[in-house]
Amino acid sequence: MENTDWWRGAVIYQIYPRSFMDANGDGVGDLKGVIQRLDHVADLGVDAIWLSPIFTSPMRDMGYDISDYTDIDPTFGTLTDFDALVARAHDLGLKVLIDQVISHSSDQHPWFTESRQSRDNPKADWYVWADPKPDGTAPTNWMSLFGGPAWTWDTRRRQYYLHNFLPTQPDLNFHNPEVPAQMLDTMRFWLDRGVDGFRLDVVNFYFHDQQLRDNPAVTPAPEEPAVRQFDMQQSIYQKTRPENLAFLQRLRALMDDYDNRATVGEIGELQRAIETMAAYTSDNRLNMGYSFEMLGTVFTPDHFRRQIETFFATAPEGWPCWAFSNHDVIRHVTRWAGHAAAPAAFAKLCAAILLSFQGSVCLFQGEELGQTEADLSFDELTDPQGIAFWPGDKGRDGCRTPMTWEAAAPNAGFSAANRTWLPIKPEQIAHAADTQTGPESVLSFYKRMLALRRATPALRTGDTVFEDMGPGILALRRGGEVLCLFNMSRETVPVKVPEGATPLLSQGMTDEGELAANGFLIARLDC
């Protein structure tokens, strides 16, 4: 019988389809290209793939602005191509999760086109509309994540509509019962096509405060303003509203109508992310919660320990999904480069740490190659976030550049086009997959580490007990059976290894009982 809790402790590989593999030679990745390279993913030893949005879209935010929730954008292919991808993934033993972006749509979606025509049409209340203040200004002080107010004036209705992201991404009104019902029907469409679950984009943004109260300022105020105005507020009325909890239970009930399906929700939260993850994965809501707590600049043993301990203390029945990189942040080997003694050794250390954590894990495409952030010029950007906040925030294009498969091939084997949608720089080609066949490569290490996690139940689902071993050392035991020691510093550090411990995987462990800079030891304990 198939394990209905396959997601618990699973490793999910995120595919950004625009940048994975281009099969038709137009410079943009597509579903047939994903199929061509799925063997690479299966050979890694992961459990599932997560596909970033592939639905019909004008691509103002690279697919996170959807104009048809039940069709594939021609950029990526067709529903037939999608069905073939799911079938091939299942043949390879991979589960398939797809992004669901239901907090907002594109302004080109027929629902919004109708909604904005008048205040009394059938879709009039499907989006968040509000009258201006008497002086004509926006209803609240809420800010958009992409800059400026979260409200845009519409001359047809003579009202403002809410958009937490771009003005071309109007927010759906989940307080209207027709909207959540429609979105659940959309999910059923994809479940019936055989997907194994969903990654839920900004899952805490579905509901807004119906009283339209202003957000308070962040306290204490930072010494200098943040790059984004959004980060200067505590967005307590704009998102993470209590009404969301009941909807997540309805969503879980839908998922439970199908066998062996799973959800992972992205928690877009700055002030209380771990607590929100805990609440959202308790009481028959989401299977897993995914936050940005390990996607920031902090790289210390105390920080990682605090996130894990806080989560399981707050939600002992909940389940987290951890990641170091994704399509929204600077790649971690670049983001944390100041902690690296040597690039390849640091990439392996990060893999060993992440894949030893209690919870499920997301790996972002190219992470297994030790891929670095691409340095793009302003004229090369496509990301609206980077364009809006340059140069204080260069946006997300640097982590989204195409996969590098073959170092000597045109466009590193990604595409036969004369030009790819984002440029491929020499620094990224240096990490091409075909250059990493040796046993000491980063790619080979990922395969060994993933195989160890898969073969060791204690590493997949065992409880975690942290130990204190001095500055720079992250020390933990999993399931009482496996000891994990990680030297997160750039100095050689002595460590105390229990007698009878059998090394399973290590780097920089000396016979004198020291861990070299960026070294680690994973060992089975003599119980």
Indicate the angle between helix axes 243-256 and 273-280, nearest 10 degrees: 40
Residue with tokens 């003005």: 167
DSSP state of 232: G
Q: What distance, in Å, lies between the first and last C-alpha atoms of the chain?
A: 31
Which candidate, 475, 481, 505, 466, places its Cα nearest to that of 493? 475
Q: Compute φ and ψ for 44, nearest 5 degrees.
A: -65, -35
Structure tokens of 127?
A: 């989006």
**Does the active-site annotation cover 427?**
no
Given a contact cutoff of 8 angstroms between Cβ atoms, the answer to whether 173 and 67 are in contact is no
Distance CA 198, CA 219 (A): 35
Given a contact cutoff of 8 angstroms between Cβ atoms, the answer to whether 301 and 488 are in contact is yes
Catalytic residue among 22, 99, 266, 367: 266
**Does the active-site annotation cover 266?**
yes
Q: Mind giving me the DSSP string for 396-439?
A: SHHHHSPP---TTSGGGGS--SSS-SS---HHHHTT-GGG--ST
Catalytic residue among 61, 81, 201, 368: 201
Which candidate, 189, 183, 230, places its Cα nearest to that of 203? 183
CB count within 10 Å of CB 524 equals: 15
Burial 311-326 (b: 16+ CB within 10 A, else e): bbeebeebbbbbbbbb
| Catalytic residue numbers, as ranges | 201, 266
